[in-house]
Amino acid sequence: MPTLQPVRGTRDILAEEARRFRRVEDQGRAVAARYGFAEVATPVFEFAEVFERTLGETSDIVTKEMYTFTDKGGDRITLRPEGTAGIARAVISGGLAQEAPLKLFYAGPMFRYERPQKGRYRQFHQIGVELIGVAEPAGDVEVIALGWSVLEALGVADKIALELNTLGNAASRAAYRELLVRYLESHRGKLSADSIARLERNPLRILDSKDHGDRAVIGDAPLFTDSLDEESRDFFAEVQGGLDALGIPYVVSPRLVRGLDYYCHTAFEFTTEALGAQGTVLAGGRYDGLIAAMGGPEIAGVGWAAGIERLSMLIDPPPAPRPIALIPVGERAEKAALALGRDLRRQGFAVELGYRGNIKRRLARANKLHARAAIILGDDEIARGTATLRDFDTGEQSEVALAALPERLARFRGAAGDGA
């Protein structure tokens, strides 16, 4: 029988890495809550149409990377490759637009069939926020500031740069599209087959092409800034002014684009050089036309998503919890230890209860777990209503009344992994 292994592009998230993941999620969740964003969760899979509409039928994600299958009921189902489409679908199907503005936070796994590499997997994880129903530049400033605050909370902001660009309003995009098509037609012979196909249907998608030949052509393409009208320039100026007021550093990156028509105005990415080629850790932008494109009402939206895998690679691993080891000695003590462990856990202490072995073996296990202290409970101590408390860091050992244990253990609470 062959050795069982995880499916290519997936892996088990264990111990230290799980603590990194949890820290990214917890910090994202906590910061989002301080900004007034409520957590939501959408299904891991949706009807394929949800993503085909939002990502574009000619996009690489839809044509090459989505996990799509037909279920037993004959429906085409897709494992979600990103989070925004599911949120937009929930706004429509739940009739939530009337409750706007909506401030939403999410966290969870996403799925794309692509070549696994450092920080990129076929099952990956994201945190993200969506601000729906705010058309003003202040909404863009708010979500960018939220992202920056998450990076600050994780202690990685000094390793990361914010790149910013404007895609303009619908009129500006239409003018740009005309310029772009004219330019690309003059270089048709150098474009890939995929890009030639997109030239008619959605030329803006070519800007997202990963083909090396396409990238060379795109390098000299016209910029969005060549087509901006006054409204678009004013919008971008307000976004920049808001970031300046908050002291959030950024660089304007005129080649930063989003290919789909429903994107407009602000596009941004937080990038780092600490991860090699996979440098984007958080990215987003304004998508005022998305919900309408899905059949919902005309309502503005702006948001971002951040890769948990990539962010977790930038942070120091949080320390493992240091439990209190409970070591019973004797048959009567074994039973008493069960109740004592339960009572201490109810009071918020992390307690490790040894299951077998003499006192020497149990103390050795406690040391291996890097326990903060040990409670040694023998039949004689039970008769006296006491236990022996040993501080592993100082070596101090004393007999303590069972009723006084919670008070004596309080100084170990923070180290014992109870979250205090």
Q: What are the tokens at 211?
A: 């083909």
pLDDT of residue 419: 37
Instruction: Give φ, ψ of 119 to 5 degrees.
Output: 75, 5
Q: Which secondary-structure segment (H or E) carries 326? A: strand 324-329
Nearest to 43 by CA among 76, 86, 84: 86
pLDDT digits (tens, 9 = 90+) for 62-99: 778 899 999 999 999 999 999 999 999 999 999 999 99
Q: List CB contacts of 216: < 8 A, sequence separation 6 or more.
A: 190
Domain map (residue ranges) of the chain: 15-169+229-314, 324-416
**Backbone conformation region of residue 275, classed left if phi is above 0, alpha if psi is from -120 to 50, else beta:** alpha
Report cis status (omega within 30 of 0) of the bond before 101: yes
40, two tokens: 């939501």
User: What is the reported pLDDT for 116?
Assistant: 77
Residues in the chain predicted with pLDDT less than 70, given as ranges, are 1-2, 56-60, 119, 277-278, 414-420
> SS3 string of 211-245?
CHHHHHHHCCCCCHHHHCCHHHHHHHHHHHHHHHH
DSSP state letter for 402: G
Fold that domain 15-169+229-314 belongs to in CATH:
BirA Bifunctional Protein; domain 2 (3.30.930)
Q: Return all residues near 93 (Cβ < 8 A) that are at least 6 apart.
A: none
Residue type, 184: L
pTM of the model: 0.89
Predicted confidence (pLDDT) per residue in 279-293, tens digit: 899 999 999 999 999
Rounded to an integer, what distance in angstroms lies between the CA atom of residue 209 and that of residue 203? 11
Please give the structure tokens belonging to residue 349.
């202490």
| CATH architecture assignment, domain 324-416 | 3-Layer(aba) Sandwich (3.40)
Contacts of 275 (CB under 8 A, 6+ apart): 118, 119, 281, 310, 313, 314
